[in-house]
Amino acid sequence: MEINREISYDKKLIKKYRGFLGFFGFLGFLGITSNDPLGYLWFGWFSWFIWFKHFLK
């Protein structure tokens, strides 16, 4: 039952932050495809944010 509760929590969190995360993920993706150092920074921040939200609830 613990796992199911965590999954539903994650789904709620994803719905809440979908636009926000999508925006930063998209910026990071654009930066990486155009070899922009700032893009790597955005993408790193984006992945860190997901990790932070997932493990430090």
- pLDDT attached to residue 6: 63
- pLDDT attached to residue 4: 64
Identify the domain containing residue 27 by its residue range: 15-55
Q: For residue 2, is it within any domain?
A: no
Torsion over CA: 2, 19, 21, 56 (sign): negative
Q: For residue 30, is it within any domain?
A: yes
- pLDDT attached to residue 7: 61
- pLDDT of residue 57 exceeding 70: no
Q: For residue 49, is it within any domain?
A: yes
- pLDDT attached to residue 5: 64
- pLDDT attached to residue 28: 72
**CB neighbour list of residue 2: distance below 8 Å, 6 or more residues apart:** none
C-alpha gyration radius of the chain: 13
Mind listing the pLDDT tens digit for each residue in 27-45? 777 767 777 677 677 777 7
Mind listing the pLDDT tens digit for each residue in 3-13? 666 667 677 77
Determine what percent of the chain falls in helix, strand and coil, rounding each to the nearest 5. Answer: 90, 0, 10
Q: For residue 22, is it within any domain?
A: yes
Domain count, the chain: 1
Q: For residue 6, is it within any domain?
A: no
Q: Which of 7, 25, 5, 6 lies closest to 17 in space, CA to CA?
A: 25
